[in-house]
Amino acid sequence: MRLNKLKDKKIVILGFGREGQDTLKFLRKKFPKKIIGVADQKQFSISSFQFPNIKWHLGEDYIKSLKNYDVIVKSPGIPFKLIEPFVSPRQKITSQTEIFFENCPCQIVGITGTKGKSTTASMIYRVLKSGGIKAYLVGNIGKPALSLLEKVAAGSVFVYELSSHQLYRLKKSPHIAVLLNIYPEHLDYYHSFEEYVAAKANITLHQKKSDYLIYNSQDARVKKIARRSKAQKIPIKGKYYKLNMAAAGKVGEIFKIPAGKIKKALEDFEFLPHRLELVGEFRGIKFYNDSLSTIPETAIEALDYLGEDVETLILGGFDRGLDFGKLAKRIVKSKVKTLILFPATGSRIWREVSKAKPRSRILRHFFVKDMKKAVELAYLYTSKGKICLLSPASPSFGLFKDYEERGNLFKKFIKKMKNGK
């Protein structure tokens, strides 16, 4: 929404995490005397937040407070389907992303995809900086967007990592859109997979002929979205980091950055943790941490990227009902000799592998419930010169707090046991 339309409206911020707090700071500066509501299911101490004129709605009845407001600034983590029964057609539901897009005077490069958007956004940022462009990295991986809106100089460029939640119902698209891939995920958040795909499509839906769409021409769903786009289309190809690099390179070309500078920026790029991260080589074994692999497709891509040296594969985690059939077939075709499997999806993955493999295909498998045991088995059954890959193909919840804890424990025990202790 345009800021002038918010001036006389009763506003509530729904969800008070990192983005919600940034939104409150921004709105408080814009409207210092306005009473602004804050609604969150968590009960926390409000004394730590020194904001005047705030009406707090905390605890289990927080959603019921929405009826008292004209505009709801919703945080991305709260599903629309959760709040729909509590809002009326007269109310406007917006987001920090929408407020930013509607009021930003600078060019925006938006990046989305089920996987790879953080890495690609970081690469694009580095490429732009190498070309002397005043660039800012915002969104999930960078700073909250609104905190920078009034601090930037004319001619700046915002590199915005956009999740499907941030794109959902967005009415404006970035000048340069990067669409990497679309796989089934977040099915508990949306009414259907089709709704998730439609959210991703918003990154290009409102683009004009003067805009650009850089898209993965190897992804059928992405290609279908690209065909409907009015923007100038730039297809790219590649697996994993090669796809990310291709996208970053094309953005650099649009901004007329010399090829040599683009090449050096990408060669010097330090890959992000938990995304096919080389932990190191210990006792002759290379260990890769791909804890951010939360769907089967990313585990398949990791096997494709690392090739036939992967001998041990650690899989499994929280069960969202995804199909592991294609992953099982890829494992059977690989040179993997040992599977180490976490609950709850580990047992489902093994059943699919058992159905897919011929009798002649020998595969060891172990069911484990902690990372220490998984790493012990990896050291025991991975040959020197080969690879142990953690690429779970499942979310982390259950045994681990999040993918970062899962990946960090993997790295911790690898280094702890490197001397055979």
pLDDT at 387 over 70: yes
Instruction: Name the residue with tokens 């911790």.
Output: 412
The predicted pLDDT at position 191 comes to 86
Model pLDDT for residues 131-159, shown as the tens digit of each residue: 999 999 998 887 888 988 888 888 899 99
Strand order in the sheet with 11-14: 54-58, 36-40, 11-14, 71-74, 92-94
Neighbours of 99 (CB within 10 A): 22
What's the average model confidence in pLDDT over 25-30? Answer: 93
Domains in the chain and their CATH numbers? Answer: 3-94 (3.40.50.720), 104-267 (3.40.1190.10), 277-416 (3.90.190.20)
What's the pTM?
A: 0.90
Angle of helix 117-130 relative to helix 259-267, nearest 10 degrees, comes to 130
pLDDT at 420 over 80: no
Whether residue 348 contacts residue 324, with contact meaning beta carbons closer than 8 Å, is answered with yes
Model pLDDT for residues 73-129, shown as the tens digit of each residue: 999 989 988 999 999 999 999 999 999 999 999 999 999 999 999 999 999 999 999
What's the average model confidence in pLDDT over 397-414? Answer: 96
What is the C-alpha to C-alpha distance for residues 402 and 334, in angstroms, rounded to an integer? 28
Model pLDDT for residues 150-192, shown as the tens digit of each residue: 888 888 999 999 999 999 999 999 999 999 999 988 777 888 9
Model pLDDT for residues 320-333, shown as the tens digit of each residue: 899 999 999 999 99
Q: What percent of the chain has pLDDT over 70?
A: 100
400 SS3 class? strand
The predicted pLDDT at position 421 comes to 58
Distances (CA, A) of 414 to 135, 390, 397, 410: 37, 11, 21, 6
**Could you tell me where the beta strands, DSSP code E, fall in 290-381?**
310-315, 338-341, 364-367
The predicted pLDDT at position 123 comes to 97
The predicted pLDDT at position 1 comes to 77
Q: What percent of the chain has pLDDT over 90?
A: 86
The two most distant CA atoms of the chain are separated, in Å, by 75
DSSP character at residue 357: S
Model pLDDT for residues 230-250, shown as the tens digit of each residue: 999 999 999 888 999 999 999
pLDDT at 264 over 70: yes
What is the C-alpha to C-alpha distance for residues 315 and 309, in angstroms, rounded to an integer? 17
Average pLDDT, the chain: 94
91 SS3 class? coil
pLDDT at 347 over 70: yes
pLDDT at 50 over 80: no
What's the average model confidence in pLDDT over 214-237? Answer: 97
The predicted pLDDT at position 419 comes to 79
